[in-house]
Amino acid sequence: MNIRRHIPNAITCCNLLSGCIAVVWALQGDFVHAFLFIIIGAVFDFFDGLTARALHVSSPIGKELDSLADDITFGLSPSAMVYALLDQCIAAHAGWFTSCLGIAQVLPYVAYLMAAFSALRLAKFNLDERQTTSFIGLPTPANALFWGGLCVGCGHALVAQAWGLWTVLALVVLFSWLLIAEIPMFSLKFKRGATNTIAIVFICISAVLLIALLVTQGLVGALSAFSAVIGLYVILSLLTPQKP
Report if residue 226 sits inside a domain.
yes
pLDDT over 90 at 76, yes or no: yes
pLDDT over 80 at 5, yes or no: no
pLDDT at 95: 65
Residue 198 sits in a domain whose CATH number is 1.20.120.1760
Report if residue 244 sits inside a domain.
no
User: What range defines the domain where residue 150 resides?
Assistant: 3-239
C-alpha dihedral sign at 86, 88, 92, 98: positive
Q: Which of 64-78, 188-202, 229-243 has the highest mean pLDDT?
A: 64-78
76-85, 95-104, 150-159 — which is least confidently predicted?
95-104
Mean pLDDT of the chain: 87
pLDDT at 207: 92
Q: What is the number of domains present in the chain?
A: 1
Percent over 70 (pLDDT), the chain: 89
pLDDT in tens, 159-210: 998 888 899 999 999 999 999 998 888 887 766 645 578 888 899 999 999 9
Model pTM score:
0.90
Contact 147, 78 (CB under 8 A): yes
pLDDT over 60 at 98, yes or no: no
Q: How many CA atoms lie within 13 A of 125 on its CB side?
A: 27
pLDDT over 80 at 16, yes or no: yes
What are the distances in angstroms from CA 77 to CA 15, 27, 71, 161, 200?
12, 9, 8, 24, 29
Report if residue 182 sits inside a domain.
yes
Contact 26, 114 (CB under 8 A): no
How sure is the predictor about 156, in pLDDT bands with cuts at 50, 70 and 90?
very high
Report if residue 55 sits inside a domain.
yes
118-122, 150-154, 162-166 — which is least confidently predicted?
162-166
Report if residue 82 sits inside a domain.
yes
What is the rounded average pLDDT of the residues 22-50? 94
How sure is the predictor about 132, in pLDDT bands with cuts at 50, 70 and 90?
low
